[in-house]
Structure formats: C-alpha cells, structure tokens
A and B are shown apart, each in its own frame.
Chain A
Amino acid sequence: MDETKIRFALIEAMRIAATQLPDDVVAALRTARERETSPLGAAQLDAILENVDVAREGSIPMCQDTGIQTFFVEMGAGSPFLGQVKGWIDRAVVDATDAIPLRPNTVDPFSGANPGDNTGRFMPYINWEIIEGDEIRITVLPKGGGSENMSTVKMLPPGVGLKGIKKAVVEHVVSCQGKPCPPTIVGVGIGGGADIALKLGKKAVLREIGSAHPEPAVAAFERELLELINSSGVGPMGVGGETTSLAVHVEYAHRHPASLPLGILIQCWADRRARVWLSADGTIEVKR
C-alpha cells in the first residue's frame, strides 16, 4: 500500500476536524439559537454560528486552540497494517501542524520547551482498542485546553446512588460557568475506576449529538441530566440563557462494590472530530 495515501488521509481528517464542525453539532447549535430567549445568549450563539461558517468557507481552524491531537484507534485484529499505525499518525500530526496549520500545543512539563510540531512524550495520544475483523477505524478528536481544564473525576461513595451522580454532574457543570465555552457536550463516565471513568467520559463525547444510549434507562438518564443542566440559566458562554449544554452522553462500566467513580468530561461547543477507515485491501475512506 502507498503509505503517503494514508498519511494524506490522516492530515485531511485533522483538517476537516479543525475547520468543519460536524453537521450534528451545527444542527444542535442552530436549535439552541432558535430556542434562546436571552438576547445576550443569542448573540453568543450567532457569533459561534457565523464563526463556524467563516471557518468552513475559508478552510481555516474554527478556534485558535486547535487542541491536543487525540486519536481513538479501533484496530481490526486481522489488519495487515498493525505495526504501522502509530508511525503514520505521528508523521501525519507533524505534517498537519504545518499544512493546516495547527497551533503547536505540546509543552514539556519540566523544561517548558515546545517542540513546535504537536508531538512529544506520549503525544499525539493514541487510545487503542482491538476489534474483530481486518478494518482499522481511526477517530481524531482535537481536544481544547479550556474545556479539558474543566474535566474532573469524583470518587463518590456508592451509597449516594444515581441521585448522587445527578447532583455531582449538575453541580460541577454549573460551577464551570462560562469557562469551558458553553454550550458544551458533557461526557459522563461511570464505574470501572478513576482512569476508566474519565476515559469512558471522553469516549462518550465522540457519539453523535442526538443519538441516544442503546439502553433505554441510560438514555433516559442522559435526557434528564441535560434537562437539569439547562434549567440552570448559565447559558451560552456563561452570559445567561437557555442552553448550557447541547448533549449529555453517558457510558458506564461495572464498578467495585466499594467505589462509584464518576468521570465528567467537558467538551466545548467546538466538538471537532473526523474519522479515517482503512480496509485490509488498502481502501481508505475519510469521514466527517
């Protein structure tokens, strides 16, 4: 297979993610604008929607914080490209930083040095999952710092139950006010362990807005949480209004009897993502 093709596809996916907000997010923002009763909140949504158009038309990043390039790889156990994916992603991130361009966002926590190409120790970060079949599905999630700073994990006493989870999520999201650039997408990860809960929350954010969790009880929990958050009045950018979050997505794992880990992962309105699918025969598809 021609390696340049997959690298170009990965760069294209990063460009699409940085410059074109997915249709489901745009639709959710438009709905929020139609429902907005606060003139200040409505003005924020107007600016966001105009910004989204300017970015798409000019093929320029919609936000100056082009994020940490985070990848979720679903790796078909039968794919012939198993050993090559990491190398492709690393090189594509360097090339994309220059070509799109992306802001150089990786900083050495000890020396403060920034290599200038969005790489570094463990960067770009790749989440691996082995799946059946021979296909590789790569999702890129450029994650901004402002919203990531508002993400948190809480180790709740199991006795608080689902009520306690609801309370913790709503209190946290409301306490963030305008800082994570609302209207946000809230990924709620429950169970597993501290790290697992956060990772489930981040994975939940990848789901399309408007999609419901396959289990009806979880889907109802998502709807209730969204409705509670949007009763707060924090509104777009925290200036007051009807829509504080566009969606709440929940994912869960079974928990230890003594633990109720709760990961709250906040994504800003710029819920940027794109995908590359690679078949065993070398066919490549870039998906928005």
Chain B
Amino acid sequence: MRRELTLPIDEKTVREFRVGDILYLTGQLFTARDEAHLLMLEAHEKGEALPFDPSQMALFHCGPVVRKAGDGWEVIAAGPTTSIRMELFEDRFLEAFRPRIVIGKGGMGDRTQAALETVGAVYAHYTGGAGALAAGRVERVDTVHWLDELGMPEAAWIFNARGFGPLLVTMDSDGGNLYKQLEPTIAANMKAILARIER
C-alpha cells in the first residue's frame, strides 16, 4: 500500500509496514555511506554524543553531488548507493542509532534483516541512478557533518525532503524480504535456462 509519512515515525508504526509498501517521506534524512557509518559507530563506542539524532530521521545510503549556493548548499543529484557494502556494520548501526527507515538500493543481508526485526525498522529500495529525481524532492540541505574529514560523497548530509519516493519496502520488521521471495522463481528460471543452453 501507498503510505505518505512525516518523519519522525515511531516503532509501532514502522512495524506495520510490509514488503511491497510504497513510501513517500517528508522530513529529515541523513546520508551515510561506509565512512560515516564507521565514524558514527566509533563515536558511539567511545560514548561521544553525535551532532544530530539519527533516530528521528531516515538513513539514506547516498553519496550526493552537492554545490555551494550562497551560505548553504544545493543538491544536484542524490540517488542511492549500493547498500550491501554497509552489511559489515549495519546491524550494529541500527542497534546503536535506531533509524526506522533505511533507504538504499540492491537490498541487504541476513544480519541487517535480523537487526530490522529486533530494532523495528524497514529497508526501502529507491530506484538506482534516479539521482535527479531524488534531488528534486529535497527541499533544502539543513546541514552537513564531517565534510572536511570525509569529503562530499562520504559526509553526513542532513536533507529536508518532501514526498521523497517512491520507496519500495523490500525488507520489513516481520521477516518479509522481497529478494528472498524472488529467489525460488529465479532459481527455477535459471534451471530452465541452463537446460536450454545444454540442449
């Protein structure tokens, strides 16, 4: 089902989301790729406070193209990056910071799936490469953290978005997983394909 949401959302709400739901988000998203994940986890393990509250925002796997505009920033293109790279530490990240929605592309692995179930969160797929479309739904850049240390693609950008989507829930907090649901079909198709090649 189609859900138009204003962030932040609570655990109870997100636990109602199911694979196949289409989300449109209004509110704050923060971007984090490999480096920002590592930096934030390190701060958390040292007991240091973060300059923003990730639990109130959606996590966006994204390395945007951003341009200086006056005192602030303008988003040029901001599509999702490949999420599976973050599988190494996403479970710890979810447990530490509790964002309710993880946005990326390509899906994630079993460890993240388990953390989504424990924490109460979903993984939502955004169309890969749709960077111009996504940028149009970011109303403004609220701020950026660790830009000097990490550089433009890896920094944590705080976006204020309106109607950010369509985001397809592909992994939910009830064990639902679109990629796993597709596996038997693809495996059966592969078997037929290989038989045709051997013929």
Residues of chain A whose beta carbon lies under 8 Å from any beta carbon of chain B:
40, 43-44, 47-48, 50-51, 54-55, 58, 60-66, 101-105, 114, 116, 144, 146, 149, 163, 166-167, 170-171, 174, 177-179, 181, 228, 231-234, 237-240, 268-270
Contact = CB atoms under 8 A, between A and B. Distances in A.
Interface of B: 20, 22, 62-65, 67, 76-79, 81-82, 84, 105-107, 125, 127-136, 151-153, 166, 168, 170, 178-179, 182, 185-186, 189-190, 192-194, 196-198
B198 A163 contact: yes
Contacts of B129: 48, 51, 62-63, 65, 144, 181, 268-270
A103 B77 CA distance: 9
A270 to B, nearest CB: 5
Contacts of B107: 177-178, 238
B38 to A, nearest CB: 12
A171 B77 contact: no
Contacts of A146: 81-82, 105, 128
Contacts of A51: 79, 127, 129-133
A228 B79 contact: no
A101 B153 CA distance: 13
Interface of B, helix, strand, loop or mixed by DSSP? mixed
A220 to B, nearest CB: 14
Given A179-B82, A228-B193, A238-B107, A65 B63 contact: yes
Contacts of A60: 76-77, 132, 135
A50 B131 CA distance: 11
Contact of B170 (A54, A239, A268): A239
B100 to A, nearest CB: 22
Contact of B125 (A66, A163, A174, A239): A239
A60 B76 CA distance: 7
A54 B127 CA distance: 14
A61 B65 contact: yes
9 contacts: A40-B20, A40-B178, A43-B168, A54-B133, A62-B131, A65-B129, A178-B128, A231-B189, A269-B129
B64 A64 contact: yes
Given A54-B132, A64-B65, 8 more contacts: A62-B77, A62-B131, A63-B130, A101-B67, A163-B197, A171-B190, A179-B106, A181-B129
A185 B81 CA distance: 19
A94 B133 CA distance: 26
B189 A65 contact: no
Contacts of A114: 151
Contacts of A61: 65, 76-77, 131-132
Contact of B197 (A44, A166, A237): A166
Contacts of B65: 61, 64, 66, 101-103
A174 B194 CA distance: 12
B103 to A, nearest CB: 13
Which of B65, B77, B81, B197 has the largest number of chain A CB atoms within 10 A? B77
A24 B67 CA distance: 31
Contacts of A104: 151-153
B194 A167 contact: yes
Nearest to B79: A64
